[in-house]
Structure 1
């Protein structure tokens, strides 16, 4: 990332930071010295708790609602948070997401459009808003949170897989086009992470057994946040256009992978 001008604060905007990976990332970036803009959709109290944690690290925080089903206006939240924190945006983390658990033949157009707007079109428009400001500053970082289903399909998740796969390729195009402006763009692809989205919150992942994951457990949101923080920090200045899986090795299992596995027989030939 190009260095901010002397005395200028570094600012990150994280969508969907009211809980889970978004909250963990906000705290991790605050620890790294960034002020943080937080968006929420349904959990305003959760977003305020995230902001309190950021302020507890000695950094500024701003909070606003973002409903990515209301596009293109929803993407204005990126500029709103940037303005609230002094007009800069050095890091954008497109983390907000949603999905379905519906067979392909039973999906309605409204649900498909909702998932595609939140998981693909929303990050596209937020990325444009952020990149335009970053160009004026001389550079920045964009991290798109995809999923292991950017790379592998899942039954019952057709629009989610389509959106995350699209976001993965969008990441690569953005990386190519924005490189000349000093902007790096990468994806982080989590596997099963103990968050509200997976029906787990404040879970001690060390006590959860997942036979279908080589490391034998789900991930912790802070483990994903650590990879995002690396990509947003100075040590990743030559990293762009890549997708970073944070999945306990699940994707390496290929067709054998899956949280549905109930035993460890696959570990033995």
Structure 2
């Protein structure tokens, strides 16, 4: 490995939420940004415009995380921008259904989007980074449900737990090439995916969370930005919970739980 990390980052799911916040933070720190576009083209273009306002180049490519060709999007963005130094896998989905009622098509779709898609993107990015010989960073956005289960979310939990373990395997395999691989595991974050506005992070009460509120997208992006920075050169194979202390409550509330806790 030689040279310095290319200041080029590919961020999936950057049309809104955590992905958008991450793209803008990395752009502010001097990265050119490759964005993926799935359904919200207007949101992606808004992100691209904001990246360019920060003085950085931006390229966009169509992307479907559930497609067998998902990884090729990374190659196209790297070709357009002249390389890749950072990959952030943010794009994802989820379903809510008890296992006995969970449709196989929904199971397969969730795993394809939340696990296979990030695998393909990471594989293509890693090949590029190794060929460049300058190291690299891969950050997989999982969930607290990488670590703890949730009723009615079997497919989502299985996919995120799988992505967490994939992160560790990649960290082992890519370390010799100077490529670090880490996971960021958000708890409840105020985004469109959770049916909230970003500002709900500051005005919504969550009594079961030690910090008493949902998280803001910038609070997740800040941890991703750290892992992409020179400050994290000796950090790999780890998962960072950004959850306001929520996982600390996993063994606490059972004495206070009412009989309805088994209902999805």
TM-score normalized with structure 2 length = 0.93
Contact 2:67 / 2:117 at 8 angstroms: preserved in 1?
no
> Where does residue 29 of structure 1 map in the other structure?
26
> Where does residue 192 of structure 1 map in the other structure?
188
Residues 1:245 and 2:250 aligned together: no
Distance 2:210 2:160 in 1: 23
> Where does residue 177 of structure 2 map in the other structure?
181
> Where does residue 131 of structure 1 map in the other structure?
126
Residues 1:214 and 2:181 aligned together: no
Could you tell me how far 1:70 is from its partner in structure 2?
1.8
Superimposed CA distance per residue, residues 90-115 of structure 1 (whole angstroms, 9 cap, x where no aligned partner): 00001110000111111111110100
Gapped regions of structure 2 (runs ≥ 5): 259-264
Range moving further from structure 2, 132-141 or 164-173: 132-141
Distance 2:153 2:97 in 1: 7
Which of 15, 18, 28 aligns to 2:15? It is: 18
> Where does residue 232 of structure 2 map in the other structure?
236
Superimposed CA distance per residue, residues 150-199 of structure 1 (whole angstroms, 9 cap, x where no aligned partner): 00000110000000000000000000010001000000000000111111
1:103 and 1:236, CA in 2 relative to 1: closer, same or farther beyond 3 A?
A: same
Which of 24, 39, 42 aligns to 1:42? It is: 39
Q: Secondary structure at the match of 2:167?
A: helix
Could you tell me how far 1:201 is from its partner in structure 2?
2.4
Range moving further from structure 2, 109-118 or 197-206: 197-206
Distance 1:113 1:41 in 2: 19
Distance 1:108 1:2 in 2: 49
Distance 1:105 1:77 in 2: 36
Could you tell me how far 1:257 is from its partner in structure 2?
6.4
Q: Secondary structure at the match of 2:250?
A: helix
Q: Secondary structure at the match of 2:236?
A: coil
Contact 1:20 / 1:201 at 8 angstroms: preserved in 2?
no
Residues 1:169 and 2:165 aligned together: yes
Range moving further from structure 2, 213-222 or 77-86: 77-86
Counterparts of 1:147-166 in structure 2, within 5 Å, are: 147-166=143-162
| Alignment length (residue pairs) | 255
Distance 1:250 1:211 in 2: 10
Distance 1:177 1:207 in 2: 43
Contact 1:2 / 1:182 at 8 angstroms: preserved in 2?
no
Q: Secondary structure at the match of 1:174?
A: helix
Residues 1:70 and 2:67 aligned together: yes
TM-score normalized with structure 1 length = 0.91
Superimposed CA distance per residue, residues 122-169 of structure 1 (whole angstroms, 9 cap, x where no aligned partner): 111110100011012221000000000000000110000000000000
Supply the RMSD in Å over aligned alpha carbons: 1.7
